[in-house]
Amino acid sequence: MTIDIPRQTYLGSVRTKTIGTGGRAFTIGGDTAFPFCRFEGEMPNAPRIGIQVLDCAPQDWAPACAEPYADVLSDPVAWALKAQNEYGADFIQLWLKSTDPNGLDRSAEEAARTARAVADAIDVPLLVWGTANVEKDAEVLSRVAEECADAHILIGPVDEANHKQLGAKALAHDLSLVANSPIDINLAKQLNILLNNLGVPIEKIIIDPTTGGLGYGLEYTYSVMERIRQAALTQDDQRLQCPFLCNLADEVWKCKEAKMPSDEAMGDAAERGILMEAVTAVTLLGAGAGLLVMRHPEAIRQVRTYIAQLGGFEMPAVVTRPTGSKKTGAAVSGEASAVAERLREGALCEIVKIMDMPIELAPGYAVALIKALDPDDERTGLLLSSGAPAAEEEQRPRAAAPSSEPAPRAAETKPAFKPLSSWEPIAAGDESGPLKNDWRDIVRGRDEKLQHVTTDLHYWYSEGYGSERRKKPA
């Protein structure tokens, strides 16, 4: 008897995304099937695990998870190095917990210095994480983005309430963003559209669906991730094809069951905590997590082994480097850097379009779409001037003379700042890319776009879907 197993039809795939630069950069995403369904599609890249580092000594940590970091808990640089060198973190999440206005309320300046120091010390990619206080995060992460402009960091969480400030900063410094939405497919999509509308390429976005800990809402996260992944793969929704980041470390370890001492009924405290963290990670991996932020080294080791086994990946070698190695990385990447490269070699370029950022977003910054003047090269890219922008007519067309200057900097002409009255967001990269038939091409004007953003196709949960049921999309 031969059974005909029905196959899932997939129309889309998860975007591949390279995290970081240099030798320790890695790639996630690229899935063309549901998580770990290698029998009907590709899962080319293993999910990766980052270790959470705090910028201030943590209070009330369970002894089991404080112990492996006991000697470095008050020094984020040493902590990050230990996580990287001894525990094999694929990336570091620096959680700027001390900036919480309801806690230590440290300044953006101080946070930026810490982030810079950590970025300089480690080789693995760095994700700088705020406190989910939207106003403070906008201030702190903006400052961090400036300070670490050349370190190719990622920042998050970017919320709908601060996406303009942080989106603009990401655009200005060519950073990737972790876009956080409250366990809702429509809000996740809306935030991606809003960021995209601002000019942030969808390729720069990682979705943080908001992670609930084991026993504390994990099922909501699990289902919303499955729903988003379904939309991405079976409905080819290009605005939901970003990889996921799950920030599970604190969600697991802050709950009381992870902190309870060893006893007969609850078993060994350390083993219980490790397994709570690892089981949470496994659940999220099953729903499509690409980046996991974790804490306990043993939980990380177990999950890494598990990923290799279920995904058929080779066990990634844990790379250790002598402490203190510096990181050097190009600030721009992809098409933009390819264009910049040409300019360095003396090729001609044309500024297709220049625009200043809306003054409330990033005063003094301009963005230019430039095109290499080489008949064989149709590439265009997004470059940034860091100074006050010139008026449009003075800039176009402008050919860069052979010189050693890295990129045309509008700032060098130092004209008086003259904001344009309207602005058009532009996407970097090849315009015939996947977003060519994007809705933005068919609507005009900012108001119409915003209208579109709020009324475009939304996903509906099945009839009566719990408390997340909505009559109207948010």
Partner 1 sequence: MPLSGIDIFKKLPKTNCQECGVPTCMAFAMKLAAGQADLAACPYIADDVRAQLEEASAPPIRCVTIGTGDNALKVGGETVMFRHEKTFVNPPGLGVLVSDAMPAEETDEKLQRLLSLSWERVGMHLKADIAALKAASGSAVSFAALVERARKTGVTNMVLMSADPAVMAEGLKAASGLRPLIYAATADNLQAMADLAREHSCPLAVRGSGLDEVAKLTAQLKDIKINDIVIDTGTRDLHQAFEDQMNIRRAALKANVRALGFPTIVFPCEMTDEPMQETLFAATFIPKYAGIIIMGDLHGANLFPLAVQRMNIYTDPQRPMATTEGIYEINNPDENSPVLITSNFSLTYFVVSGEIETSRMPAWLLIKDTEGLSVLTAWAAGKFVADSIAAFIKKSGIMDKIKHRTLVIPGLTATISGDLEEELPGWTIQIGPREAAHLTPFLKNWKA
- Which stretch, 332-340, 414-422, 430-438, 464-472, contacts partner 1 (CB under 8 A)? 464-472
At closest approach, how far in Å is the CB of 469 from partner 1? 9
Write the interaction track for partner 1 spanning residues 103-142; mark x where CB under 8 A is met and - where it is not. x---------------------------------------
Q: Which is nearer to partner 1, 18 or 234 (CB)?
A: 234
Contact 176, 17 (CB under 8 A): yes
Query: In this chain, which of 30, 44, 58, 217 binds partner 1, going by CB under 8 A?
Result: 217
Residues 6+ apart with CB under 8 A from 322: none
Q: Cα 170 from chain centroid?
A: 10
Distance CA 183, CA 169 (A): 25
Query: In this chain, which of 120, 226, 430, 438 binds partner 1, going by CB under 8 A?
Result: 226
Distance CA 123, CA 125 (A): 7
Query: In this chain, which of 22, 63, 261, 267 binds partner 1, going by CB under 8 A?
Result: 267
Residues 6+ apart with CB under 8 A from 256: none
Place of tokens 């297709």: 352
Write the interaction track for partner 1 spanning residues 284-323; mark x where CB under 8 A is met and - where it is not. --x-----------x---xx-xx--xxxx-----------
Q: Which is nearer to partner 1, 17 or 272 (CB)?
A: 272
Give yes or no for residue 282 binding partner 1 (CB under 8 A): yes
- Which stretch, 256-264, 336-344, 396-404, 423-431, contacts partner 1 (CB under 8 A)? 256-264
**How far apart are the two ends of the chain, measured CA to CA in Å?**
50
Q: Which is nearer to partner 1, 274 or 355 (CB)?
A: 274
Residue ranges in 199-238 assigned as alpha helix (H): 218-234
At closest approach, how far in Å is the CB of 278 from partner 1? 6
Contact 176, 224 (CB under 8 A): no
Question: What is the DSSP secondary structure assignment for residue 213, as one 8-state letter?
Answer: B
Query: In this chain, which of 11, 460, 466, 474 binds partner 1, going by CB under 8 A?
Result: 466
Query: In this chain, which of 22, 23, 38, 319 binds partner 1, going by CB under 8 A?
Result: 38
Alpha carbon of 441 to those of 181, 379, 414: distances in Å? 26, 20, 33
Query: In this chain, which of 60, 360, 376, 393 binds partner 1, going by CB under 8 A?
Result: 60
Give yes or no for residue 227 binding partner 1 (CB under 8 A): yes
Distance CA 348, CA 423 (A): 26
At closest approach, how far in Å is the CB of 221 from partner 1? 10
CA angle (434 as vertex; 431, 427 as ends), nearest 5: 40
Closest CA to 212 of 173, 247, 176: 247
Query: In this chain, which of 324, 421, 467, 472 binds partner 1, going by CB under 8 A?
Result: 467
Strands 126-129 and 91-95: parallel
Contact 85, 124 (CB under 8 A): no
Closest CA to 186 of 203, 167, 207: 207
Distance CA 258, CA 271 (A): 10
Write the interaction track for partner 1 spanning residues 177-216; mark x where CB under 8 A is met and - where it is not. -----------------------------------x-xxx
Q: Which is nearer to partner 1, 110 or 468 (CB)?
A: 468
At closest approach, how far in Å is the CB of 340 from partner 1? 43
Distance CA 365, CA 360 (A): 11
Q: Which is nearer to partner 1, 102 or 422 (CB)?
A: 102
Give yes or no for residue 401 binding partner 1 (CB under 8 A): no
Torsion 28-33-38-41 (CA) sign:
negative
At closest approach, how far in Å is the CB of 81 from partner 1? 27
Give yes or no for residue 102 binding partner 1 (CB under 8 A): yes
At closest approach, how far in Å is the CB of 267 from partner 1? 3
Give yes or no for residue 266 binding partner 1 (CB under 8 A): yes
Tokens of 334: 């992809």
- Which stretch, 23-31, 253-261, 365-373, 385-393, contacts partner 1 (CB under 8 A)? 253-261
- Amino acid making up residue 449: K
Three-state SS annotation for 161-199: HHHHHHHHHHHHHCCEEEEECCCCHHHHHHHHHHHHHHC
Q: Using DSSP, state whether 218 is helix, strand or coil.
A: helix
Q: Which is nearer to partner 1, 276 or 370 (CB)?
A: 276
List for the chain the helix, strand, coil content (%; round to 5).
40, 15, 45
Give yes or no for residue 261 binding partner 1 (CB under 8 A): no
Give yes or no for residue 423 binding partner 1 (CB under 8 A): no
Contact 19, 154 (CB under 8 A): yes
Q: Which is nearer to partner 1, 17 or 304 (CB)?
A: 304
Query: In this chain, which of 67, 109, 219, 441 binds partner 1, going by CB under 8 A?
Result: 219
Distance CA 117, CA 396 (A): 40
Query: In this chain, which of 91, 129, 222, 365 binds partner 1, going by CB under 8 A?
Result: 222
Q: Which residues bind partner 1 (CB under 8 A)?
A: 1-6, 8, 36-39, 60, 102-103, 212, 214-220, 222-224, 226-227, 230, 254-257, 263-268, 271-272, 274-276, 278-280, 282-283, 286, 298, 302-303, 305-306, 309-312, 461-462, 464-468
